[in-house]
A = this chain, B = another copy of it.
Amino acid sequence: MRKMSHLSARTRTVVELLAAKRDGAELATDEIKSLVAGLVAGTVADYQFSAFLMAVFLRGMTDQETVALTEAMLHSGRVLNLTEVPGVKVDKHSTGGVGDKTSIALAPLVAACGVPVPMVSGRGLGHTGGTLDKLEAIPGFRTDLSTEDFRKTVREIGTSMIGQTADIAPADKRIYALRDVTATVECIPLIVASILSKKLAEGIDALVLDVKVGSGAFMKNMDHARALALALVAVGKRAGKDVRAILTQMDNPLGNAIGNANETSEAIDILKGTAPFDVTECTLVLAEEMLTAGKVAATREQARARLNRAIADGSALRKLETMIERHGGNPRVCQDASIMPQPDVSVPVLAASEGYVIGIDAFALGILGVSLGAGRTRADQKVDHAVGFNLYKKPGEAVTKGEPLAMMLLRSQHDPSATAERVLGAYKIGSKAEADAAQKPLVLDRI
């Protein structure tokens, strides 16, 4: 086989491109675009693209290749134009964790501070939950606004939260479906292109990434998480966006609520200033970055002051109420969370011994929640918004024997004692010294 240079006038065949990537060569931007366009058009077969994905998994991609892949996927569908909305449009994306309901508080909070937040979110899959599922616990809330209504809502109230429409990055859907069945999911350039192609389609100017690290996250260790964050920031910047990443701890669940309705309730509490410290702090850290990216604050300190004011004066909560109303939801949920679906029974999990909480296995609780119906293992499954857990004891806290560690929100068909045993198994109890030594800061790094 002749070796062709990128400068060659001859277009390389699909097989030649696969061979080049297989051998670790860098493909030209047009070549990557032709592969993606070919997949969508049907001239590149699924079995060719999946071989390409495996070659990328094992050989990697340069930042330039990842930019090309991102842009090819982005331009496979509709790219929103929000230039009519004044200001720097900023969104946040989290790589996914257990108990992470920050988006629901962040979007209205940041919008209340004057930064437009056009947010296209996802659903839960595997052990991590999804913002759309949590929002849909609110009676009437529609996450399927048309692109036009989304744009109008952002323009008029500063934020809107919807699901990915069929015309946003269709190539990403095709490619993700192939990755899912060919063991090519956990691959940084492919993850980067998937995240950024969807987010850039929203018409944003800046993006703050919450890269979760730990047993409850997709990235289990700092090296992988930092590599992903660096790639996201580098590729996003090459695509002309102000992209920042914060690495946050996800060994333990974020906040007390794991589920859907109860997580939405906790997100509302963030805006009331009554939510647990960790989830409030995580929201504020991300919001600070969105405010500086959105150019309404010069420093994180200024941003924090502005955010605290929006919570204290109720403007953030009112923004959430307005947003819920504009999406067809009942804003009374902000005063009365019980209008959301409720479990059949609430059963406490009692501590079997005394000591201190060293840690709570977020992954185990995430999976347990899925098994109760709070999440899904296949994209076509429905979720039960009522079920889940409310944690009473968090890492570092003292526990006496017989004291409630958590409340299980169950359906009558669930087995409370078997479930309680698994919750107990997720709690690691030990000495005060062990518990103190295990505590990590929320923010692990900024990129």
Q: Mark A159-200, 1 if CB is under 8 A from B, else 0.
A: 000000000000000000010111110000000000000000
Contact among B19, B46, B49, B57 with A183 in the assembled complex (CB-CB below 8 Å): B19
A224: min CB distance to chain B, Å: 14
A58: min CB distance to chain B, Å: 5
Say yes or no: B48 contacts A51, CB within 8 Å.
no
CA distance A58 to B14 in the complex (A): 18
Say yes or no: A181 contacts B58, CB within 8 Å.
no
Contact among B51, B57, B59, B182 with A184 in the assembled complex (CB-CB below 8 Å): B51
CA distance A150 to B301 in the complex (A): 87
- Assuming the contacts A47-B178, A50-B48, A50-B50, asked whether A15 and B55 have C-beta atoms less than 8 A apart, the reply is no
A363: min CB distance to chain B, Å: 11
Say yes or no: A18 contacts B183, CB within 8 Å.
yes
Number of copies of this kind of chain in the complex: 2
CA distance A152 to B123 in the complex (A): 65
Confirm or deny: A54 has a beta carbon within 8 angstroms of a beta carbon on chain B. yes
Confirm or deny: A45 has a beta carbon within 8 angstroms of a beta carbon on chain B. yes
Collect the chain B residues with CB atoms within 8 Å of residue A184's CB.
22, 51
Collect the chain B residues with CB atoms within 8 Å of residue A15's CB.
180-183
CA distance A99 to B53 in the complex (A): 39
Q: Mark A55-70, 1 if CB is under 8 A from B, else 0.
A: 1011100000000000
Collect the chain B residues with CB atoms within 8 Å of residue A22's CB.
54, 57-58, 183-184
Contact among B18, B49, B55, B58 with A47 in the assembled complex (CB-CB below 8 Å): B49
**Chain B CB within 10 Å, residue with most, of A19, A47, A49, A55:** A47
CA distance A57 to B16 in the complex (A): 15
Say yes or no: B14 contacts A47, CB within 8 Å.
no
Say yes or no: A182 contacts B46, CB within 8 Å.
no
**Chain B CB within 10 Å, residue with most, of A18, A51, A58:** A51
Collect the chain B residues with CB atoms within 8 Å of residue A180's CB.
15
Collect the chain B residues with CB atoms within 8 Å of residue A50's CB.
47-48, 50-51, 54
CA distance A180 to B18 in the complex (A): 11
CA distance A48 to B182 in the complex (A): 5
A400: min CB distance to chain B, Å: 34
CA distance A14 to B180 in the complex (A): 11
A205: min CB distance to chain B, Å: 37
Say yes or no: A48 contacts B181, CB within 8 Å.
yes
Q: Which chain A residues numbered 383 to 410 have a C-beta less than 8 Å away from chain B?
A: none
Collect the chain B residues with CB atoms within 8 Å of residue A14's CB.
181
Collect the chain B residues with CB atoms within 8 Å of residue A18's CB.
54, 182-183
Q: Which chain A residues numbered 328 to 370 have a C-beta less than 8 Å away from chain B?
A: none
CA distance A73 to B55 in the complex (A): 24
Say yes or no: A183 contacts B58, CB within 8 Å.
no
CA distance A49 to B180 in the complex (A): 14
Collect the chain B residues with CB atoms within 8 Å of residue A57's CB.
22
Q: Mark A22-55, 1 if CB is under 8 A from B, else 0.
A: 1000000000000000000000011111111111
Collect the chain B residues with CB atoms within 8 Å of residue A58's CB.
22, 54-55, 58-59
**Chain B CB within 10 Å, residue with most, of A48, A178, A182:** A182
A379: min CB distance to chain B, Å: 15
CA distance A181 to B45 in the complex (A): 9
CA distance A52 to B50 in the complex (A): 9
CA distance A184 to B52 in the complex (A): 11
CA distance A58 to B45 in the complex (A): 21
Q: Mark A401-437, 1 if CB is under 8 A from B, else 0.
A: 0000000000000000000000000000000000000
Q: Which residue of B lies closest to A180 (CB)?
A: B15
A162: min CB distance to chain B, Å: 30
Collect the chain B residues with CB atoms within 8 Å of residue A182's CB.
15, 18, 47-48, 51
A4: min CB distance to chain B, Å: 14
A49: min CB distance to chain B, Å: 7
A-B contact pairs, 9 of them (CB 8 A): A19-B183, A22-B183, A46-B47, A47-B49, A47-B182, A50-B51, A51-B54, A52-B54, A58-B59
List residues of chain A with CB under 8 Å of any chain B CB: 14-16, 18-19, 22, 45-55, 57-59, 178, 180-184
Minimum-distance CB pairs A-B, first 8:
A18-B183, A51-B182, A19-B183, A54-B54, A47-B50, A46-B47, A51-B54, A50-B51
